[in-house]
Amino acid sequence: MSGWPRPVYVQGAAALSACGVGWRGLAAFVRQGQRPAALEVPALAANDEPCEPRQRKLMSRAAYLGAAAIKLALRARGGLPAIPNPGVEAGVALYMGVGASGGDMAELEAMLGACVNDSRFDLARFGEAGLTAANPLFAFQLMNNFTLCHGAILGGLQGSNSAFFSRGAGTVTALREAAFAVATHETPVALAGGADSALHPVTRAELARGGWIARDLGPAEGAALLALGGTPSQDQPHVRLTRAEIHVARGGPLGEAAAAALAAGPAGGARRPAALVICPWGAPARAALAAAAEREMTGGEILDASVVLGDALAAAPALGWAVALDWLSGTGHEQESVVVLSAGIDGELGVVELIGGGAP
């Protein structure tokens, strides 16, 4: 049993990372421990592009990656769900963890340049000259909820949706909302995950100023989504989502919160996980999660996604789910369970569990 009124299944998935497009093979990449030379998503193939070049000009990098992930996730589950009755649109729900604004630097510099008075930022000049110095459609890049909006519009989803600002836990909240939407029959299909880029100069500067890069956080970018539904997929091994929890660790030892979450196990007393995927933010979180894993895991495999994929901020937990899904698709793992622990700089711990096949 899970925490939802009915089972929630993974009907498809999508992932874009420094390792390329697709989630299959991610577990092997992480197991090898070899980080790509550049922590950016490679250029997409023509059939993976989510939009025309002129539309892309309205998007931040995160929005572009998110739109591509939406297209790929819908393709993986076989497209939009069928309309149950004439004149009734089923709709696909979309819940995403998103990061900070990621606007074009030339536009940002033009705005700031118009606001300088005697070498100081002048708020009055910003209202008078700064706003008119940039393209009026620049807001579509700046508003971080458009990381969700662009892809939802392009995909024709038409379902309930929410964008959660995320430095870790917001992305797990998105997954929880999607699972509840499916389990309570609010929607037949819900996409859940995150898209973000820590490679934008402003975001990278924020991370450096906060001391995170000095603590071994590796700025990266990516996007990943799970397509959830109330019935299993017909095209891939059955995988259920059985846990999506957030544990507040602020002010307390992260390792203790992680160990307690692992020791508690899933609702209903299902078997202990055969593998653990960790998505830490930098060296301190990595040490805490690794210590908890060694304490609570006996004989299971531990995969550190961030060592290879870097830290893609709001996308990091979702990329960890993609690694877990790939692990479950491996030979001999179809009946096992995998837990993903994500620890963001928001000080909260995300716990997500996927169970394959006929596991209880």
Which domains are assigned to the chain?
9-102+138-229 (3.40.47.10), 105-137 (no CATH), 239-356 (3.40.47.10)
pTM of the predicted structure, to 2 decimals: 0.92
Q: List 90's β-bridge partners, or say none.
A: none
Q: What integer pLDDT is reported at residue 280 of this predicted model?
A: 93
Counting Cβ atoms within 10 Å, is residue 327 exposed (0-12), middle (13-18) or buried (19+)? buried
The CA-based angle 162-217-260, given to 5 degrees, is: 70
Residue 316 near residue 342, CB atoms below 8 Å: yes
Distance CA 98, CA 193 (A): 9
Instruction: State phi, psi for 110 to the nearest 5 degrees.
Output: -65, -40
Q: What integer pLDDT is reported at residue 95 of this predicted model?
A: 98
Cα dihedral 158/139/201/52 (nearest 10) = 50
Q: What integer pLDDT is reported at residue 120 of this predicted model?
A: 87
In 3D, which of 12, 73, 7 has the Cα closest to residue 235? 12
Distance CA 41, CA 71 (A): 16
5: which 2 tokens?
């009124």
The CA-based angle 32-313-291, given to 5 degrees, is: 55
Instruction: State phi, psi for 136 to the nearest 5 degrees.
Output: -55, -25
Q: What integer pLDDT is reported at residue 358 of this predicted model?
A: 54
Give every CB contact of residue 193 below 8 A, 6+ residues apart in sequence: 14, 69, 73, 96, 97, 171, 174, 175, 223, 224, 225, 226, 315, 318, 321
Phi-psi region at 215: left, alpha or beta (left = phi > 0; alpha = psi -120 to 50): alpha
- Cα end-to-end distance, the chain, whole Å: 8
Q: In Å, how far from its chain's centre is CA 254?
A: 21
Instruction: From first to last of the 360 residues of the chain, give the pLDDT tens digit.
Output: 357 888 999 999 999 999 999 999 999 999 999 999 899 999 999 999 999 998 888 899 999 999 999 999 999 988 777 655 444 446 899 999 999 888 888 888 888 888 888 888 888 888 778 778 777 777 777 788 889 999 999 999 989 999 999 988 999 999 999 999 999 999 999 999 999 999 999 999 999 999 999 998 999 999 999 999 998 877 666 899 999 999 987 667 888 889 888 888 765 445 678 999 999 988 999 999 999 988 888 778 999 999 999 999 999 999 999 999 999 998 888 789 999 999 988 789 999 999 997 544
In 3D, which of 229, 151, 225 has the Cα closest to residue 187? 229
